[in-house]
Amino acid sequence: MIEFDQVSRRFGATVAVDRVSLTVPSGSITALVGTSGSGKSTLLRMINRLIPPDEGTIRIDGIDTATLEEVALRRGIGYVIQGNGLFPHWTVARNIATVPRLLGWDAARIEARVRELLERFGLDPAVYANKLPHALSGGQQQRVGVARALAAEPEILLMDEPFGALDPIIRARAQDDLLALQRRLGITVVIVTHDMDEALRLGDQIVVMDHGRVLQAGAPEQILARPAVDFVRQLVGDADRALRLLALTRVGEAAETVGSTEPAGSGEAAGRAGAPLSSAATLRDAMGALLWHGVETLPVADDDGVVRRRISLPAILTRARRPQ
C-alpha cells in the first residue's frame, strides 16, 4: 500500500502538488487523471523520490520513504515513461538488463531473466534480443520499456503516459496486456494519463487531479455515477457517461442463457446479424452491434466458441442507468 499524507511540492511560485492525501491499495491499478499541469507526474515521481516532496509523508507498506536509501527504494519500483525511454545505442537485451546489472546479478541470471521477459512479452529472444530499439515498432518498443521496468521483479510499477505515443489499435492491445500482466503478477500499478477512457478501462481506482489537488478518488463506477464536483462531471462527459458505464461491463456478465445449445454462427439472430458477440466484448460494443444490425438481441459465444447465451437491449439499458 502506498499512502500520501498531506504531501506538497512547489516549483518556485508554482504549487505542483497541494496537500494530497491518498491511499493506493496494493495489488491493483490506480489511474491518475487530469488536465495538463494538474500535478499527476509530480505526484507519481514523488513515489520513487525522483522528485522529493517539500512537505508531508509518503509511506510504502507503512515505511516512510524519506527514511530509505534512494537506491533501495527504487529497486522495488519499476518506472515506465512515454515514448519508452530506451537507450537508443543499447540492444534490447542490454536495455532490459539495466537494473539487474546495477544490482550486480551474475551474467547467467541476467540472460535467463531477459529471455523470460522477452518471451512473456511475445518477442522471440532469437530475433529481438540483439536488435537496437529503432529496429522495433512503437508497440514493441513500448513492451521492451515495460519489460525493462519489470526486470528486477518490482512490486510497484509507475507508468507516466506509457501508451501516449501509440496508435489507437496498438494502444488498446497494450492496455489489455497491462491488465493481464497486473492480474497475473499482482503488482501495484500507478499510471498517469490524461485520457479518461484509458483511466476508466485500466483503473481499479481513479484519482482525478486539478491544480495539484485530488478532487475525487474512487472506483470507476463511482466516478461516473457520482462525480464529486463540476470539474469531474465535465471530465467524464455528461453525454458520454452512460456509454462509458457500459464500457466497464463485459457482455458475459449481462448475457442471458438461451434454451438450447447451438454452435457459433447459427441461430436466427446470428443468421441475420453475422458472427456472434464474444463474451469478452464490452456492453458498449454490444450496443453498437445491436444498433448496427437493427436487432434487439444478439447471440453470445463463450470462450470455447459455443453460443449458449444472448445479449438483449433491455439487459443493456438496465446497466446504462445511473447506479443507485
Residues making contact with ligand ATP (CB under 6 A) = 11, 14, 16, 34, 36-42, 194
**Rounded CA gap, 234 and 69, in Å?**
42
CA 316 distance to own-chain centroid: 25
For ligand ATP, which is the closer residue by CB, 34 or 203? 34
Nearer to ligand ATP, 50 or 295 (CB): 50
CB of 68 to ligand ATP, least distance (A): 22
Question: Taking the complex as a whole, how short is the minimal distance between the CB of residue 234 and ligand ATP, in angstroms?
Answer: 16
Nearer to ligand ATP, 208 or 255 (CB): 208
**Residue 53 CB, nearest distance to ligand ATP (Å)?**
12
CA dist list (Å): 201 to 48, 163, 181, 248, 315? 25, 13, 14, 7, 21
Quote the cell numbers at residue 298: 444478439
Task: Say if CB 201 and CB 218 are below 8 A apart.
Answer: no
Q: How far apart are the first and last CA of the chain?
A: 30
d(CA 3, CA 131): 40
Q: Is 214 helix (H, G, I), strand (E, B) or coil?
A: strand
Q: Minimum distance between the CB of residue 39 and ligand ATP, rounded to whole angstroms?
A: 4
Q: How far is the CB of 71 from ligand ATP (least distance, A)?
A: 22
Residue 34 or 276: which CB sits closer to ligand ATP?
34
Q: Which is nearer to ligand ATP, 14 or 137 (CB)?
A: 14
C-beta closer to ligand ATP: residue 16 or 301: 16
| Smallest distance from ligand ATP to CB 199, Å | 12
Gap between the Cα atoms of 199 and 21, Å rounded? 20
Q: What is the CB neighbour count within 10 angstroms for residue 73? A: 19
